[in-house]
Amino acid sequence: MLNKKSVDDLQVKGKKVLVRCDFNVPLQDGEITDESRITAALPTIKKLLEDGGKVILCSHMGKPKGEAKPELSLAPVAKRLSELLDKDVVFAKDEVVVGENARKAVAAMKDGEVVLLENTRYRKEETKNEESFSKELASLADIFVNDAFGSSHRAHCSTVGVAEFVKESAVGYLMEKEIEFLGNAVNNPKHPFVAILGGSKVSDKINVINNLLDKVDTLIIGGGMAYTFGVAKGGKVGESLLEADKVDYAKEMMAKAEEKGVTLLLPVDTIITKEFKNDTEFKTVSALDIPDGWMGLDIGEKSRELFAAAIKDAKTVIWNGPMGVFEFENFAGGTKAVAQAMADIHATTIIGGGDSAAAVNQLGFGDKMTHISTGGGASLEFLEGKDLPGVVAVQDK
């Protein structure tokens, strides 16, 4: 159980509550292309409004690097949020975030009203967690609620610093849900516990592999990172993704798996091409015998069967990272097979955000999973066994 104050522990009637959300949604030509992060924030916002709070929302969007970049304004989020809540969302359009518009809007708020501040990363202090901006944010509110799971691995003003300068702080429902699902899966799993890791780089997931080997029964490694393990096994990987300086680490992890009695599954076959594109000649070969001039872009049919068989008997499955270049239709088959295998079982199935979440949703398996995390980086740090600064900063119960 999370030992932090939650929204249910607060008395918010008549109080100003600053809520850090993760509204970092993808935009194309000013239109939101995936609003799942906005809908994920609604339960907390609705609860605070129903209880008569004055709800001031804030978030970052993209990486404006301390400048007011109009294309990264939260204005489209204000519009969509207002439709989803079926009430006015006053957008405080201040380049300095906490400026005249924000102060006026907040001063005029009645109970049950909503104000959204501008992109917190318009301020250069934000990502440095500088006290000055934390204090400005805190000056707007009595209470701080952190519901931005996707940003909770970053110590910024709006996720960490601000908590110190308000009277009370709590975590929101989304944060609680993420931590409950990820925490239970990792620290209190029903066995057999299978973790599947993919994506491009071993170096991004070093600590995740190490930490999970202490907990899982089976670790499946696919995607671009598998070729470094292939070389560690003495294989030839042609032009496939390879981190030569991580081969020794891969060997160490294989030894650790053996020592711990963990089954480490690697691809046995792979689909190779000469060019990194969708429409090109491809064929399947042994994962350990890729000819020069060819590169592996997906796991082969035998690997899919091998991985699906391991997933079939699992009671808990966690997945982070695609099995191949799923953005190309011809090389999405391995990722799809893993998503299908997870969708087919009666078990706790958790998708660790980022590309795997996008892949699962894109392939139409979204509603078949127990939990799809909204935070890629944050869920990875969680899987590494790290404390998330955005959670640590909130008051204990």
Nearer to ligand AMP, 13 or 63 (CB): 63
Spatial CA neighbour of 337 closest among 310, 313, 316, 371: 310
Nearer to ligand AMP, 122 or 331 (CB): 331
Nearer to ligand AMP, 204 or 344 (CB): 204
Query: Can 37 be counted among the known catalytic residues?
Result: yes
E-assigned strand segments in the chain: 16-20, 27-28, 31-32, 54-58, 89-92, 114-117, 143-146, 168-171, 193-197, 218-221, 236-237, 263-265, 269-273, 282-286, 289-290, 295-299, 316-320, 348-351, 371-372
The verdict on 204 binding ligand AMP (CB under 6 A) reads: yes
Nearer to ligand AMP, 111 or 239 (CB): 239
Q: Which of 322, 333, 353, 375 binds ligand AMP (CB under 6 A)?
A: 322
Nearer to ligand AMP, 223 or 300 (CB): 223
- Give the residues across from 236 on adjacent strands: 289
Q: Which are the contacts of 278, defined by CB distance < 8 A and separation ≥ 6?
A: 328, 329, 330, 331
Q: Which of 172, 189, 296, 353 binds ligand AMP (CB under 6 A)?
A: 296
Query: Can 354 be counted among the known catalytic residues?
Result: yes
Give the number of other CB atoms < 10 A from CB of residue 329.
11
User: Least distance (Å) from ligand AMP to the CB of residue 325?
Assistant: 4
Q: Which of 161, 267, 324, 375 binds ligand AMP (CB under 6 A)?
A: 324
Residue 380, token pair as written in the block? 């990875």
Q: Which of 201, 236, 256, 274 binds ligand AMP (CB under 6 A)?
A: 201
Residues in 351-390 that interact with ligand AMP by CB under 6 A: 354-355
Q: Which are the contacts of 30, defined by CB distance < 8 A and separation ≥ 6?
A: 71, 76
Nearer to ligand AMP, 189 or 322 (CB): 322
User: Least distance (Å) from ligand AMP to the CB of residue 210?
Assistant: 17
Burial of 107 (C-beta count, 10 Å sphere; 0-12/13-18/19+): exposed
Q: Which stretch binds ligand AMP (CB under 6 A): 26-34, 96-104, 196-204, 381-389?
A: 196-204
Beta carbons of 321 and 342 less than 8 angstroms apart: no
User: Least distance (Å) from ligand AMP to the CB of residue 294?
Assistant: 12
Nearer to ligand AMP, 6 or 340 (CB): 340
For every residue of 262-296, which 3-state class applies, written as one string?
A: CEEECCCEEEEECCCCCCCCEEEEECCEECCCCEE
Query: Can 201 be counted among the known catalytic residues?
Result: yes
User: Least distance (Å) from ligand AMP to the CB of residue 158?
Assistant: 25
Q: Which of 160, 241, 287, 347 binds ligand AMP (CB under 6 A)?
A: 241
What is the C-alpha separation between 74 and 104, in angstroms, rounded? 18
Query: What letter represents residue 30's amino acid?
Result: G
Q: Which of 64, 321, 333, 375 binds ligand AMP (CB under 6 A)?
A: 321
Say whether 55 sits in a helix, a strand or coil: strand
User: Least distance (Å) from ligand AMP to the CB of residue 324?
Assistant: 5
What is the C-alpha separation between 115 and 321, in angstroms, rounded? 36
Nearer to ligand AMP, 158 or 211 (CB): 211
What is the C-alpha separation between 101 and 283, in angstroms, rounded? 60
Q: Which of 93, 177, 201, 302 is catalytic?
A: 201
Q: How many angstroms from the chain centroid is the CA of residue 256?
A: 27
Q: Which stretch binds ligand AMP (CB under 6 A): 16-24, 87-95, 320-328, 384-392?
A: 320-328
Q: Which of 150, 161, 172, 223 binds ligand AMP (CB under 6 A)?
A: 223
Q: Which stretch binds ligand AMP (CB under 6 A): 2-10, 119-127, 193-201, 361-369?
A: 193-201
Give the number of other CB atoms < 10 A from CB of residue 31.
9
Beta carbons of 34 and 158 less than 8 angstroms apart: no
Q: Which stretch binds ligand AMP (CB under 6 A): 62-70, 181-189, 206-214, 318-326?
A: 318-326
Q: How many residues make contact with ligand AMP (CB under 6 A)?
A: 16
Q: Which are the contacts of 121, defined by CB distance < 8 A and separation ≥ 6?
A: 60, 61, 62, 63, 64, 65, 66, 72, 127
Which residues lie near ligand AMP (CB under 6 A)?
199-201, 204, 223-224, 241, 296-297, 321-322, 324-325, 327, 354-355
Please give the positions annotated as active site.
Answer: 37, 201, 354, 377
